């Protein structure tokens, strides 16, 4: 989510009432004076109701209403056009939350319209002068300098056509109330309309051709009504006018937008599912909007599907690590339980000799084990919940309790075995123990063979994000199988080492090895713990390196090189300048485009990138990177025009 473009991560609603007030055509001048009503609050209220609890994820919400491009006519102090003006265009934008993102170099934030002027108004093939409000606007300081504007200057904005009224917008008079500089040009606030902070260069239609600057003038939401009434005059009383179907009180001359920016830091897997449902409700809503039905534009559903799939695949992979860690922790805690009982062997035997029952010994052992285990587990769980964002799943809690339960169970089992051994009630144990051990070993080996043999048939499930518990047990069972084989060979290895040590001068090595050979039971559990721990460590290292390698591959495939510069046009001299930059080994001209290919069954379409470049030069630039390839099979190509993309290997 965090790496996706902001335009895809936002929820954007747009609405245009164009054409809904043409039934006012040729209204007499004396009945004009009505103003449109902003749909800002009604749509926002309906949107938040449709979002429901997901509204808490909305980090910021802004409203804007922008006119179409208009021809700029700079006026002098007498209200006449200045001589010798070059072609320029501007739009007027009603923008909420604007003042907090700019520094005022001159003037201040535009306030409500209070001054008046007159503009031409066409009425039944004749033109009359109509009174309008002068709209105070703000303009970026560098644009104001280029256009030779200062606070107090006025501009007339015209649609550039002489068509009849209500077919096109009528003239607008604006006055510069302030010039500003953005506090942070990288702020996502400016993503909605970058022309607020810099003029764009647009081609001029017509026989003369050429280019002209196009900027956005900003005004306060309080001027929505006067601005809309300037473009499309409305009657004061609508009782005598029959509205067409779908007509609203909103201005017909502006495109309205509501932009909801989400807080991706608060996103969890559960909230992502709720957000997807909320976006679907917004897409399907009709009656909830009333007469203003906005168009919904967002890439959230695709992002959330990709996010959910990525989280599911990651969870399926992490399940292998989780099970391995739980197995290692369970065996380690089991060894700890045996050690605790052996340490208290004398006390337990004394209590048993003095008449303590087996149940009393079990309660004493459990109290001794759990008195420090439960607080430690609670402290660790609290630290994990507070330190890791997201919701804790039920199976995670259950798995976290497995080592604690194993510690208690092994401690109780060791206590019972100790008590029965000392009271002479386990005479059959020495004869049954080898059979039980052999049965367990055969069971472990058979289960390992079955699970490892079925892994190839389960890879598709894991790749689609299905948590396969049987497959996740494979590493742990494989380690246990290796430990079983090692323990069977362990006595032979120890005896061979003891025989070799007997001919040496060291008595300590011989005695230690001889004792290990005679008492193999004491070393069985530590050997199993070490083998499983080594497996868990190897698995963690392998998965970590694989994920890091895949992440690097993904970044390179997304960018296409170490650095990529995108532009509408870059000429050969620019390439030479790029190659001369410090740290740049070479620059490769390439044209890129994106499309979709139909993927395998049930996988839908796949997004692919098409790169048109010199294969040899591109291969040389990518040598030593994850994108390295052999250009020999590729045909030679020639450039047929200026390139639009440049790959710059760093």
Give the torsion sign (CA, 627, 630, 631, 633): negative
From CA 49, how far away is CA 297, in angstroms rounded? 18
Q: What is the mean pLDDT of each run of 10 residues along the chain (650 residues)?
A: 66 80 66 86 91 87 92 90 90 94 94 90 77 94 94 89 61 94 90 90 75 93 92 76 68 89 77 84 85 83 77 76 81 82 82 82 85 81 72 69 84 82 53 66 77 70 67 78 78 72 66 63 71 79 78 78 77 81 82 68 61 82 82 60 50
Give DSSP secondary structure letters for 138-171.
EEEHHHHHHTT--TT-EEEEE-S--PPBTTBPPP
Helices (H) and strands (E) in the chain, counts: 16, 20
**C-alpha distances in Å from residue 459, one per residue of 168, 261, 551:** 62, 38, 20
Tokens standing for 180? 């500003």
Q: Tell me the two tokens of residue 489.
A: 């060979």
- Could you give the CA distance from residue 600 to residue 34 in angstroms, rounded to a whole number? 59
- What token pair was written down for 394? 């039920």
Q: Are 153 and 175 in contact (CB under 8 A)?
A: yes
424 conformational bin, left if phi > 0, alpha if psi -120 to 50, beta if neither = left
Q: Which two tokens stand for residue 448?
A: 């390992």
> Would you state the structure tokens that stand for residue 182, as one six-digit string?
């953005």
Burial class (CB in 10 A: 0-12, 13-18, 19+), 637: exposed
Amino acid 362: pLDDT = 85
> Most distant CA pair in the chain: distance in Å?
124
Nearest-angstrom CA–CA distance, 515 and 332? 23
Question: How many CB atoms sit inside 10 A of residue 51's CB?
Answer: 21
Residue 388, classified by CB atoms within 10 Å of its CB into exposed (0-12), middle (13-18) or buried (19+), is exposed
pLDDT of residue 520: 57
443 three-class SS: helix
Q: Is 543 helix (H, G, I), strand (E, B) or coil?
A: helix
- Report the C-alpha gap between 319 and 309 in whole angstroms: 15
φ/ψ of 400, rounded to 5, equals -65, -25
Q: What are phi and psi of 488, to 5 degrees?
A: -70, -35
Amino acid 162: pLDDT: 47
φ, ψ at 313 (rounded to 5°): -65, -40
Secondary-structure percent of the chain, ordered helix, strand, coil, rounded to 5: 50, 20, 30
**Spatial separation of the C-alpha atoms in residues 598 and 139, rounded to whole Å:** 48
In DSSP terms, 255 is beta-bridged to 16, 66
CA distance 328 to 537: 10
- Res 140: pLDDT: 95
Tokens matching residue 506 = 């060291």
- With beta carbons less than 8 A apart as the criterion, state whether 133 and 170 touch: no
Q: Whole-angstrom Cα distance, residue 363 to residue 342?
A: 16
Q: DSSP per residue over 556-610, as a string?
A: HHHHSSSEEEE-S---HHHHHHHHTSTT----EEEEEEEEEEE-STTS-EEEEEE
**Cβ(253)–Cβ(228) under 8 Å?**
yes
Question: Beta strands 89-95 and 211-219: pairing type?
Answer: parallel
Please give the Cα distance from 187 to 196 (Å, whole number).
Answer: 13
255 exposed, middle or buried (CB, 10 Å; 0-12, 13-18, 19+)?
A: middle
Cα–Cα dist 298/8, whole Å: 6
Got the DSSP string for 621-640? Answer: HTTTSTT----TTSPP----
Q: Could you give the CA distance from residue 547 to residue 541 in angstroms, rounded to a whole number? A: 10
The 8-class DSSP code of residue 356 comes to: -
Instruction: Name the residue among 258, 241, 232 with its Cα closest to residue 39.
Output: 258
| Tokens at 633, concatenated | 């099979």
Q: What is the dihedral of CA 499, 500, 502, 508, to 10 degrees?
A: -110
The strand pairing partners of 128, in sequence order, are 121
Spatial CA neighbour of 483 closest among 510, 448, 431: 448
pLDDT value at residue 643: 45
**595 Cβ contact list (under 8 Å, min separation 6):** 607, 608, 610
């Amino acid at each position: 989510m965090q790496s996706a473009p902001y335009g895809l991560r936002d929820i954007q609603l747009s609405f245009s009432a164009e054409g809904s007030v043409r039934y006012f055509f040729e209204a007499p001048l004396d009945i004009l004076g009505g103003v449109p009503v902003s749909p800002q609050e009604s749509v926002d209220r309906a949107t938040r109701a449709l979002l429901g609890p997901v509204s808490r994820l909305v980090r910021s919400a802004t409203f804007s209403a922008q006119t179409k491009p208009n021809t700029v006519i700079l006026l002098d102090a007498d209200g006449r056009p200045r001589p010798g003006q070059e072609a320029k265009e501007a739009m007027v934008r009603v923008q909420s939350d604007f003042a907090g993102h700019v520094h005022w170099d001159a003037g201040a934030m535009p306030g409500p319209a209070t001054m008046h002027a007159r503009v031409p108004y066409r009425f039944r093939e004749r033109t009359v002068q109509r009174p309008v409000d002068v709209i105070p606007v703000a303009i970026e300081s560098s644009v104001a300098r280029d256009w030779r504007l200062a606070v107090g200057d006025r501009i007339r904005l015209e649609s550039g056509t002489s068509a009849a009224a209500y077919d096109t917008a009528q003239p607008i008079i604006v006055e510069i109330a302030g010039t500003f500089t953005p506090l942070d040009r990288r702020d996502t606030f400016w993503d909605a309309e970058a022309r607020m902070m810099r003029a764009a260069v647009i081609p001029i239609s017509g026989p003369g051709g050429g280019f002209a600057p196009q900027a956005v003038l900003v005004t306060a939401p309080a001027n929505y009504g006067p601005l809309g009434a300037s473009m499309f005059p409305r009657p004061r009383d609508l009782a005598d006018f029959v509205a067409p179907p779908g007509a609203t009180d909103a201005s017909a001359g502006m495109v309205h937008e509501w932009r909801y920016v989400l807080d991706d830091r608060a996103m969890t897997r559960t909230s992502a599912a709720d957000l997807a449902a909320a976006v679907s409700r917004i897409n399907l809503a009709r009656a909830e909007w009333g007469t203003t039905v906005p168009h919904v534009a967002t890439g959230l559903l695709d992002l959330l599907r990709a996010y959910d799939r990525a989280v599911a695949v990651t969870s399926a992979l992490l399940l292998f690590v989780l099970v391995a860690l739980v197995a290692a922790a369970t065996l380690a805690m089991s060894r700890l339980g045996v050690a605790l009982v052996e340490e208290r062997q004398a006390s337990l035997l004394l209590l048993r000799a003095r008449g303590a029952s087996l149940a009393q010994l079990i309660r004493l052992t459990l109290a001794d084990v759990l008195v420090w285990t439960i607080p430690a587990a609670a402290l660790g769980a609290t630290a994990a919940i507070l330190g890791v964002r997201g919701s804790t799943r039920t199976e995670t809690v259950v798995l976290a309790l497995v080592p604690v339960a194993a510690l208690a169970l092994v401690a109780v089992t060791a206590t019972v075995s100790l008590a029965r051994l000392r009271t002479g009630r386990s005479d059959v144990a020495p004869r049954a123990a080898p059979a039980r051990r052999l049965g367990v070993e055969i069971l472990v080996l058979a289960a390992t063979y079955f699970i490892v043999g079925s892994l190839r048939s389960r890879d598709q499930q894991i790749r689609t994000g299905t948590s396969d518990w049987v497959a996740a047990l494979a590493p742990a069972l494989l380690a246990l199988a290796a430990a079983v084989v090692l323990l069977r060979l362990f006595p032979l290895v120890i005896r061979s080492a003891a025989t070799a040590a007997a001919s040496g001068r060291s008595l300590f090595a011989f005695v230690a090895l001889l004792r290990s050979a005679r008492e193999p039971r004491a070393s069985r559990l530590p050997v199993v713990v070490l083998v499983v721990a080594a497996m868990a460590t190897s698995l963690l290292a392998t998965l970590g390196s694989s994920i890091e390698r895949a992440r690097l591959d993904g970044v390179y495939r997304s960018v296409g090189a170490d650095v990529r510069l995108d532009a509408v046009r870059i000429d050969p001299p620019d390439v030479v300048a790029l190659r001369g930059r410090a740290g740049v080994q070479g620059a490769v001209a390439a044209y890129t485009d994106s499309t979709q290919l139909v993927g395998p069954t049930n996988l839908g379409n796949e997004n692919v990138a098409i790169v048109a470049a010199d294969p040899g030069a591109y291969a040389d630039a990518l040598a030593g990177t994850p994108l390295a390839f052999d250009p020999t099979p590729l045909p030679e190509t020639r450039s047929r025009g200026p390139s639009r993309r440049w790959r710059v290997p760093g």
